[in-house]
Protein backbone atom coordinates (compact mmCIF):
# COMPACT_ATOMS: atom_id res chain seq x y z
CA UNK A 1 0.00 0.00 0.00
CA UNK A 2 3.05 2.26 -0.25
CA UNK A 3 2.51 5.59 -2.01
CA UNK A 4 -1.26 5.17 -1.93
CA UNK A 5 -3.30 8.23 -1.09
CA UNK A 6 -6.19 7.43 1.25
CA UNK A 7 -9.50 7.57 -0.56
CA UNK A 8 -12.81 8.52 1.00
CA UNK A 9 -13.75 5.83 3.49
CA UNK A 10 -17.13 4.23 2.96
CA UNK A 11 -19.00 1.64 4.95
CA UNK A 12 -18.78 -2.01 4.05
CA UNK A 13 -21.35 -4.73 4.63
CA UNK A 14 -20.71 -7.33 7.27
CA UNK A 15 -18.16 -9.81 5.92
CA UNK A 16 -19.29 -13.27 4.92
CA UNK A 17 -17.35 -16.49 5.11
CA UNK A 18 -16.53 -19.40 7.35
CA UNK A 19 -17.69 -18.41 10.88
CA UNK A 20 -14.71 -20.27 12.32
CA UNK A 21 -12.25 -18.18 10.33
CA UNK A 22 -13.89 -14.79 10.81
CA UNK A 23 -12.55 -13.01 13.90
CA UNK A 24 -14.92 -12.15 16.72
CA UNK A 25 -13.08 -8.95 17.67
CA UNK A 26 -11.23 -6.49 15.46
CA UNK A 27 -8.82 -4.19 17.29
CA UNK A 28 -7.93 -1.05 15.34
CA UNK A 29 -4.63 0.66 16.18
CA UNK A 30 -3.62 3.85 14.30
CA UNK A 31 0.15 4.41 14.46
CA UNK A 32 2.36 7.40 13.79
CA UNK A 33 5.87 7.11 15.23
CA UNK A 34 5.10 5.03 18.30
CA UNK A 35 7.82 2.39 18.24
CA UNK A 36 8.42 2.83 21.98
CA UNK A 37 5.03 1.38 22.96
CA UNK A 38 3.72 -0.30 19.81
CA UNK A 39 4.95 -3.83 20.51
CA UNK A 40 3.30 -3.92 23.94
CA UNK A 41 0.09 -2.36 22.64
CA UNK A 42 -0.27 -5.03 19.95
CA UNK A 43 0.53 -7.80 22.43
CA UNK A 44 -2.29 -6.68 24.75
CA UNK A 45 -4.65 -6.29 21.80
CA UNK A 46 -4.20 -9.91 20.76
CA UNK A 47 -5.07 -11.02 24.30
CA UNK A 48 -8.52 -9.43 24.23
CA UNK A 49 -10.26 -12.53 22.81
CA UNK A 50 -9.19 -15.92 21.42
CA UNK A 51 -10.54 -14.93 17.98
CA UNK A 52 -9.03 -11.49 17.49
CA UNK A 53 -7.57 -9.68 14.52
CA UNK A 54 -5.39 -6.66 15.12
CA UNK A 55 -5.36 -4.04 12.38
CA UNK A 56 -2.48 -1.59 12.56
CA UNK A 57 -2.79 1.52 10.40
CA UNK A 58 0.73 2.90 10.04
CA UNK A 59 0.67 6.39 8.61
CA UNK A 60 3.51 8.84 8.19
CA UNK A 61 5.81 6.86 10.49
CA UNK A 62 9.56 7.28 10.10
CA UNK A 63 10.79 5.71 13.35
CA UNK A 64 10.62 2.01 12.50
CA UNK A 65 7.04 1.48 13.70
CA UNK A 66 6.25 -0.24 10.39
CA UNK A 67 8.84 -2.96 10.95
CA UNK A 68 7.55 -3.64 14.45
CA UNK A 69 3.97 -3.89 13.16
CA UNK A 70 4.97 -6.28 10.35
CA UNK A 71 6.66 -8.65 12.80
CA UNK A 72 3.75 -8.62 15.28
CA UNK A 73 1.29 -10.84 13.42
CA UNK A 74 -1.13 -7.97 12.93
CA UNK A 75 -2.69 -6.95 9.64
CA UNK A 76 -0.76 -3.87 8.59
CA UNK A 77 -2.10 -1.04 6.42
CA UNK A 78 0.68 1.34 5.45
CA UNK A 79 0.51 4.92 4.21
CA UNK A 80 3.71 6.87 3.70
CA UNK A 81 2.14 10.15 4.79
CA UNK A 82 0.10 11.25 7.81
CA UNK A 83 -3.62 10.66 7.32
CA UNK A 84 -4.76 13.26 9.82
CA UNK A 85 -6.31 12.88 13.25
CA UNK A 86 -8.61 9.82 13.63
CA UNK A 87 -8.68 8.95 9.92
CA UNK A 88 -6.79 5.77 10.77
CA UNK A 89 -9.82 4.62 12.75
CA UNK A 90 -12.01 4.85 9.68
CA UNK A 91 -9.55 3.02 7.48
CA UNK A 92 -9.07 0.27 10.05
CA UNK A 93 -12.82 -0.10 10.52
CA UNK A 94 -13.28 -0.40 6.76
CA UNK A 95 -11.04 -3.46 6.76
CA UNK A 96 -12.37 -5.00 9.98
CA UNK A 97 -14.15 -8.35 9.84
CA UNK A 98 -15.09 -8.80 13.50
CA UNK A 99 -18.50 -8.61 15.14
CA UNK A 100 -17.02 -6.16 17.65
CA UNK A 101 -14.62 -3.34 16.83
CA UNK A 102 -12.31 -2.08 19.57
CA UNK A 103 -10.39 1.18 19.09
CA UNK A 104 -7.15 1.89 20.93
CA UNK A 105 -4.10 4.10 20.43
CA UNK A 106 -0.55 2.97 19.84
CA UNK A 107 0.98 5.28 22.45
CA UNK A 108 -0.99 3.94 25.45
CA UNK A 109 -0.38 0.46 26.81
CA UNK A 110 -3.67 -0.69 28.36
CA UNK A 111 -3.82 -4.21 29.84
CA UNK A 112 -6.02 -6.68 28.01
CA UNK A 113 -7.93 -7.33 31.23
CA UNK A 114 -9.29 -3.79 31.04
CA UNK A 115 -9.85 -3.83 27.29
CA UNK A 116 -11.97 -6.96 27.65
CA UNK A 117 -14.58 -4.96 29.59
CA UNK A 118 -15.46 -3.00 26.44
CA UNK A 119 -15.70 -6.13 24.34
CA UNK A 120 -17.90 -7.77 26.98
CA UNK A 121 -20.23 -4.75 27.09
CA UNK A 122 -20.84 -4.92 23.35
CA UNK A 123 -21.27 -8.69 23.52
CA UNK A 124 -24.00 -8.09 26.11
CA UNK A 125 -25.95 -5.72 23.86
CA UNK A 126 -24.28 -2.30 24.06
CA UNK A 127 -23.72 -0.72 20.65
CA UNK A 128 -21.18 1.91 21.71
CA UNK A 129 -19.14 1.10 24.83
CA UNK A 130 -17.33 4.20 26.11
CA UNK A 131 -14.42 4.80 28.42
CA UNK A 132 -16.00 6.20 31.61
CA UNK A 133 -13.49 9.04 31.74
CA UNK A 134 -14.80 12.61 31.74
CA UNK A 135 -11.50 14.42 32.05
CA UNK A 136 -10.30 16.78 34.80
CA UNK A 137 -13.10 19.16 35.72
CA UNK A 138 -12.04 20.29 39.20
CA UNK A 139 -9.83 23.03 37.88
CA UNK A 140 -10.05 26.81 37.77
CA UNK A 141 -9.62 26.68 34.01
CA UNK A 142 -11.11 23.58 32.37
CA UNK A 143 -9.64 22.43 29.05
CA UNK A 144 -11.74 23.31 26.02
CA UNK A 145 -12.03 19.70 24.88
CA UNK A 146 -13.37 18.62 28.28
CA UNK A 147 -15.97 21.41 28.18
CA UNK A 148 -16.95 20.50 24.62
CA UNK A 149 -17.57 16.86 25.55
CA UNK A 150 -19.79 17.76 28.51
CA UNK A 151 -21.68 20.40 26.50
CA UNK A 152 -22.35 18.00 23.63
CA UNK A 153 -23.78 15.30 25.89
CA UNK A 154 -26.03 17.87 27.58
CA UNK A 155 -27.32 19.00 24.19
CA UNK A 156 -27.93 15.41 23.14
CA UNK A 157 -30.06 14.81 26.22
CA UNK A 158 -27.48 12.44 27.70
CA UNK A 159 -26.10 14.27 30.76
CA UNK A 160 -25.60 10.83 32.29
CA UNK A 161 -22.64 10.40 29.94
CA UNK A 162 -20.81 13.33 31.52
CA UNK A 163 -17.70 14.01 29.46
CA UNK A 164 -17.42 10.54 27.97
CA UNK A 165 -17.05 10.42 24.24
CA UNK A 166 -15.99 8.42 21.20
CA UNK A 167 -13.13 10.90 21.04
CA UNK A 168 -11.46 9.01 23.88
CA UNK A 169 -10.06 5.50 23.72
CA UNK A 170 -10.59 2.77 24.45
CA UNK A 171 -14.08 2.34 23.09
CA UNK A 172 -15.83 -0.44 21.22
CA UNK A 173 -18.74 -0.60 18.81
CA UNK A 174 -20.96 -3.34 17.49
CA UNK A 175 -21.21 -4.40 13.87
CA UNK A 176 -24.71 -2.93 13.96
CA UNK A 177 -23.31 0.44 15.04
CA UNK A 178 -20.75 0.36 12.25
CA UNK A 179 -23.53 -0.31 9.74
CA UNK A 180 -25.63 2.58 11.07
CA UNK A 181 -22.81 5.11 11.36
CA UNK A 182 -20.68 4.13 8.38
CA UNK A 183 -16.91 4.18 8.51
CA UNK A 184 -16.51 7.79 7.35
CA UNK A 185 -18.15 9.17 10.50
CA UNK A 186 -15.46 7.55 12.64
CA UNK A 187 -12.96 10.11 11.32
CA UNK A 188 -14.84 12.73 13.36
CA UNK A 189 -15.56 10.95 16.66
CA UNK A 190 -17.97 13.57 18.11
CA UNK A 191 -20.00 13.25 14.91
CA UNK A 192 -20.15 9.46 15.23
CA UNK A 193 -21.06 9.88 18.91
CA UNK A 194 -23.90 12.27 18.02
CA UNK A 195 -25.17 10.07 15.21
CA UNK A 196 -25.21 7.03 17.48
CA UNK A 197 -27.43 8.79 20.00
CA UNK A 198 -29.65 10.31 17.31
CA UNK A 199 -30.17 6.88 15.72
CA UNK A 200 -31.17 5.30 19.02
CA UNK A 201 -28.14 3.06 19.44
CA UNK A 202 -27.35 1.89 22.95
CA UNK A 203 -24.51 4.14 24.11
CA UNK A 204 -23.15 3.37 27.58
CA UNK A 205 -20.19 4.08 29.85
CA UNK A 206 -18.24 0.96 30.80
CA UNK A 207 -15.19 1.31 33.07
CA UNK A 208 -12.89 4.23 33.73
CA UNK A 209 -9.39 4.30 32.29
CA UNK A 210 -7.55 7.54 33.02
CA UNK A 211 -6.09 8.18 29.59
CA UNK A 212 -5.11 11.66 30.75
CA UNK A 213 -2.40 10.06 32.84
CA UNK A 214 -1.46 7.52 30.18
CA UNK A 215 -1.24 9.99 27.31
CA UNK A 216 2.38 11.11 26.79
CA UNK A 217 2.96 14.83 27.26
CA UNK A 218 3.85 16.42 23.93
CA UNK A 219 4.78 19.94 24.97
CA UNK A 220 6.28 20.88 21.60
CA UNK A 221 3.17 19.75 19.68
CA UNK A 222 0.83 21.54 22.06
CA UNK A 223 2.81 24.76 21.64
CA UNK A 224 3.05 24.59 17.85
CA UNK A 225 0.07 22.52 16.73
CA UNK A 226 -2.35 21.92 19.58
CA UNK A 227 -5.16 19.46 18.91
CA UNK A 228 -7.58 21.48 21.05
CA UNK A 229 -8.92 23.68 18.20
CA UNK A 230 -9.32 20.63 15.96
CA UNK A 231 -11.25 18.57 18.51
CA UNK A 232 -13.41 21.51 19.63
CA UNK A 233 -14.14 22.11 15.95
CA UNK A 234 -15.18 18.48 15.63
CA UNK A 235 -17.71 19.03 18.42
CA UNK A 236 -19.04 22.16 16.73
CA UNK A 237 -19.48 20.17 13.52
CA UNK A 238 -21.42 17.55 15.47
CA UNK A 239 -23.61 20.21 17.07
CA UNK A 240 -24.33 21.71 13.65
CA UNK A 241 -25.39 18.28 12.38
CA UNK A 242 -27.65 17.80 15.41
CA UNK A 243 -29.31 21.19 14.86
CA UNK A 244 -30.04 20.32 11.25
CA UNK A 245 -31.76 17.17 12.47
CA UNK A 246 -33.80 18.99 15.13
CA UNK A 247 -34.27 22.78 15.16
CA UNK A 248 -32.34 25.96 15.91
CA UNK A 249 -32.52 25.21 19.66
CA UNK A 250 -31.56 21.57 19.38
CA UNK A 251 -35.00 20.42 20.51
CA UNK A 252 -35.00 22.55 23.68
CA UNK A 253 -38.12 24.65 24.36
CA UNK A 254 -38.18 28.45 24.24
CA UNK A 255 -40.59 28.71 27.17
CA UNK A 256 -43.06 31.61 27.23
CA UNK A 257 -40.66 34.06 25.62
CA UNK A 258 -42.54 36.40 23.25
CA UNK A 259 -39.78 37.20 20.80
CA UNK A 260 -42.13 38.79 18.29
CA UNK A 261 -42.59 41.74 20.66
CA UNK A 262 -39.09 43.03 19.93
CA UNK A 263 -38.86 42.27 16.25
Q: What was the pLDDT predicted at 217?
A: 58
* Domain range summary for the chain, segments of one domain joined by +: 22-210+227-245
Span between the terminal Cα atoms of the chain, in Å: 60
Q: What was the pLDDT predicted at 72?
A: 95
Residue 135 zone, left/alpha/beta (φ > 0; ψ -120 to 50; rest): left
The vertex-95 CA angle with 90 and 84, nearest 5°, equals: 30
Q: What was the pLDDT predicted at 225?
A: 58
Burial environment of residue 25 by CB neighbours within 10 A (0 to 12, 13 to 18, 19 or more): buried
Q: What was the pLDDT predicted at 184?
A: 96
**pTM beyond 0.75, yes or no:** yes
Q: Which residues of the chain have pLDDT under 70?
A: 1-21, 216-225
The vertex-79 CA angle with 73 and 85, nearest 5°, equals: 100
Q: What would the CATH number be for the domain defined by 22-210+227-245?
A: 3.90.550.10
Q: For 165-225, list the strands marked E by DSSP.
A: 171-174, 203-205
Q: Is 133 helix (H, G, I), strand (E, B) or coil?
A: coil
In DSSP terms, 26 is beta-bridged to 53, 101
**Integer Cα distance of 188 and 86 in angstroms:** 7
Amino acid sequence: MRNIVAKKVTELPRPNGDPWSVPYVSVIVPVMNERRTLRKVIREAFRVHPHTEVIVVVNGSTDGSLDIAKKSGAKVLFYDRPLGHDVGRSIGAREARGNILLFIDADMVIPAAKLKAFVHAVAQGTDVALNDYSGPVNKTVVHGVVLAKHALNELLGRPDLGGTSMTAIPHAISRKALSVLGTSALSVPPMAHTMAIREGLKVERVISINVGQLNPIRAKRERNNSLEPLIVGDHLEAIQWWLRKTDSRGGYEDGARQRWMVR
